[in-house]
Amino acid sequence: MHHVCRECRRDYPTSDLLTDHFIKSPNHAYCELCDEHFDTFGMLYDHRDAAHIYCRACDVVFRMRKGLARHREEQHADRYCAQCERIFQNANNLREHERSSVHQARDVACPMRGCGRSFVSKAALVLHMESGTCASGMTRAMVDKLATKLDKGGVITNPARMIGGPSSLPDKPTVTKMWATERAWNGSAYECYLCHREYGSLPALNAHLRSPAHGEKLYRCPTRGHGCGREFRTLSAFVQHVESGSCGVRRFLVEIDQAIGQLSRNMKRLTLA
């Protein structure tokens, strides 16, 4: 009795050999456990995810969950979260996940008047202040000016790169409301004249221009503090770099905590009614 693969027009003397062909052939999206064919390999992988104990990264099916867990711990240890049973694209994404609110308590409170929000890290707190979402009215420009003013020795800042220089803070800081006009329309989208990225609306383009995307790299990882000399456009990015421990500057963490505390106290005084 012959066993025929109609798609490939090949005969096999036994059903086992035909099944082996289905499994190994690049032309067949076949699940041997269910004896089922799928139209695409994407549909097959989705089926295995849903119906079987499966490592998509290696395309391997396991009979028991503990076998899959052991495989992930051995083969994907640098990007596998055992607690969440998730494999991340790379080790950096895993570290970001481990530092997120999924695994970290939100115990860094915003000290600003009228806010009351809490965050998982100092970097997240500073980003909150820079983003303009704090109820106190903090902005990135205010953070930059205060950081430059407080960092008198230029350990982590380069005041020369600040637009207008490290001038004293005004009583009522202003924020630029509009950087681009209708002239940015190129016929199909609003285009950034600096990087040529396109946006569907003028407010979206202006949000891009007000972001740190084209700002000067005002902050630097201090080499004299065992750092790497890398430069950053925002204080939050620098603090995140310190907290990540990606270079020797982690020894500088105590000083960073003190600086953030001083920064917060000064900001709080500025926003008191």
- Residue 169 is predicted with a pLDDT of 42
Least confident of 52-61, 196-205, 257-266: 257-266
- Same domain flag for 114 and 246: yes
Q: Residues 52, 44: contact at Cβ < 8 Å?
A: no
- Same domain flag for 181 and 56: no
- Same domain flag for 181 and 76: no
Q: Residues 21, 10: contact at Cβ < 8 Å?
A: yes
Question: Please, which pLDDT band fits residue 172 given cuts at 50, 70 and 90?
Answer: very low
Percent of the chain with pLDDT over 90: 3
- Residue 262 is predicted with a pLDDT of 74
- Report d(CA 196, CA 190) in Å as an integer: 9
For the chain, the domain total comes to: 2
- Same domain flag for 74 and 131: no
- Same domain flag for 115 and 209: yes
Is the torsion defined by CA of 76, 79, 81, 84 positive or negative? negative
96 located within any domain: no
- Report d(CA 115, CA 159) in Å as an integer: 29
- Residue 118 is predicted with a pLDDT of 92
40 located within any domain: yes
- Same domain flag for 128 and 238: yes
DSSP 167: P
- Same domain flag for 264 and 144: yes
Residue 28 in this model has a pLDDT that exceeds 60? yes
Least confident of 167-181, 200-214, 215-229, 248-262: 167-181
98 located within any domain: no
- Report d(CA 171, CA 52) in Å as an integer: 63
- Same domain flag for 162 and 256: yes
Question: Please, which pLDDT band fits residue 269 given cuts at 50, 70 and 90?
Answer: low
The full length of the chain comes to 273
Residue 49 in this model has a pLDDT that exceeds 50? yes
Question: 84: domain range?
Answer: 3-90
- Residue 149 is predicted with a pLDDT of 83
- Same domain flag for 73 and 134: no
- Same domain flag for 154 and 211: yes
Q: How far is CA 175 from CA 144, 178, 214, in A?
A: 13, 9, 16
**Residue 217 CB-density burial (10 A; 0-12 exposed, 13-18 middle, 19+ buried):** middle
What does the block give as tokens for 34?
Answer: 């269910």
What average pLDDT does range 28-42 have in this prediction?
Answer: 88
Q: What is the per-residue pLDDT across 153-163, written as a single tens digit (0 to 9) for each?
A: 788 888 776 65
Last residue of a domain, one of 62, 90, 118: 90
100 located within any domain: no
145 located within any domain: yes
- Same domain flag for 127 and 231: yes
